[in-house]
Amino acid sequence: MNKKTLSERDICTKFITPALVKAGWDVQTQIREEVNLTKGRVIVSGRVYRRGEAKRADYLL
């Protein structure tokens, strides 16, 4: 199987999640996938504000 033709999500599903399960992690209670960690930094310019890019994690153990 050529990993270069797989998407990031396919690699996570076929290789990373099974390795975590084999290491003893429980998928239902101990692993969260595609998690937003923050809403993004608040950038203030005078009276105008906006949010920066949100931070994400592929896995949260």
**What are the C-alpha distances in Å from 3 to residues 8, 22, 46, 54, 57?**
9, 21, 48, 28, 21
Is residue 46 scored above 90 in pLDDT? yes
Q: Residue 35's pLDDT is what?
A: 92
Q: Residue 54's pLDDT is what?
A: 92
Residue 36, classified by CB atoms within 10 Å of its CB into exposed (0-12), middle (13-18) or buried (19+), is: exposed
Tokens of 59: 């896995």
CATH code at 3-55: 3.90.1570.30
Q: Residue 4's pLDDT is what?
A: 87
Over range 8-26, report the average pLDDT.
94
Q: Residue 20's pLDDT is what?
A: 96
User: Mean pLDDT score of the chain, rounded to an integer?
Assistant: 92
- Reported as a pLDDT band with limits 50, 70 and 90, residue 18 is very high
